[in-house]
Amino acid sequence: MWLTGWLFLPVLAGPFYHTINATFLGIFVFNELMNISRNENKDNLNRLTGPVLEWGLFWTLFYFQFPRIVLRKQVLENSGFSPAEYPILYMILYDIRVQVTSLILTGLFLLFVGTLQRGAFRYQFRRFAFASLIAIMTSYVGCCLGALIQFGRVWALIVPMIVACNDTMAYFSGVTMGKTTLITLSPNKTLEGFVGGALFTFAFAFINIHYVFKVEWLVCPFDKFTLSPFENTTCVVNREIYVPQAAPQLFGLHVSPAQLSVCIFGFFTSVLGPFAGFLASGMKRAYQLKDFANTLPGHGGFVDRFDCQ
C-alpha cells in the first residue's frame, strides 16, 4: 500500500513533485543495476574506474536529456525564470548543452582509458560498456516518466495503472487457464496468461479511460513548475484530443484520439511488458540473485518492482 502511495501521491501533488520522484526512480534503478556485478576488490585497484566513472556517465546523460525532455525553455520561463534575468542558466541548459555533454563524455572516455589497470582489463571494459548502456536507458526513461505529467496528471497515472492491470490479470489468467509454457526462462508464465493479460488490459484501457478523461483536474496540462502541492488546476479541455470523433476510429467505434492512444499503449505494454520482466529474471539468474536489492522491505529492489515499466 505504501508503495502505491509513494507512486501516486507525487502525481497528484503536481509536476514538480512527480518529476523529482521520477528522477529518484531513475537514480535507484541505475544504482541497483550497477551493483549486481560489482567486484569491490577490482574497483579498489583504481577507484576512478568504479562508481565515479559510472555515475559520471549517468549524470552527464541526465544533464543532456533533462532540458530537452522535461525542463523545456517554455516551461522554465513560465516557472518564473526568464532568459533576461537568468542568462547563464539558459546558456548552460540550452545553448551549450550539447558541447558540454560532448566534452564531459570525452573526458570520461579519456579517464577510463588512462586508468586501465593490469589484472582488471576485462572487468573494466565490461563495466564501462554496461554502465554506458544502463546510463542511457535509466536517464532517458526517468526523464520521459517525469515529462508525462506535463500532458496532464492522467498520463502519469496511466503507465503504472496499465502495467499493474496487465501483471494482475496475466497472473489470474495463468492460474485459472494456464497450460502452455510461454518461455522456458520462466516456466510459471503461460501463453494463456499472456493472452488473457493482454485482452483484459486492452478492455481496461478502452472502457475505464473514457470516464477518467472526463475529470478535468486530471486532464489539464501543465506548462510550469510550482512548489504548491495539490493545486486545483482548471483548463479548457482540448476537444480534438479528449472528445470522441465523428468518424469511427477503433473497430467501428467512436473514440477520442486520447482513448485510442491509451488502447495502443495498452497493447504495447501487454506485449513488451512481460518480456521486460523475463529480461530481469534472466539477469537475476545470470548473477544468481534472488532480488536486485533490498531497498524496499518485502519487495526487493526498485528494479524488482518496476521491471515491466
- Grid cell listed for 243: 472528445
Residues of the chain under the 50 pLDDT cut: none
Q: Name the pTM for this structure.
A: 0.88
Question: Can you spell out the DSSP letters for 204-237?
Answer: HHHHHHHHHTT-HHHH----S--S-TT-------
Q: What is the pLDDT of residue 18?
A: 93
What is the pLDDT, as a whole number, of residue 297? 66
Q: What was the pLDDT predicted at 247?
A: 57
Determine the pLDDT at residue 82. Answer: 94
Report the pLDDT value the prediction gives residue 188, as an integer from 0 to 100.
78
* Dist. CA 15–CA 224, nearest whole Å: 8
Beta bridge partners of 183: 186
For residues 197, 203, 209, 210, the Cα torsion angle rounded to the nearest 10 degrees is 180
278-307 burial code (b ≥16 CB/10 A, e <16) = bebbebbeeeeeeebbebbeeebbbbbbbb
User: What integer pLDDT is reported at residue 198 of this predicted model?
Assistant: 87
For the record, the C-alpha cell of 309 comes out as: 515499466
Q: Taking Cα atoms as reference points, which of 237, 199, 243, 192 lies closest to residue 219?
A: 237
pLDDT value at residue 118: 82
CB-based contact 79:225 (threshold 8 Å):
yes
Rounded to 5 degrees, what angle do the CA atoms 214, 219, 225 make?
A: 155
Q: What pLDDT score was predicted for residue 249?
A: 60
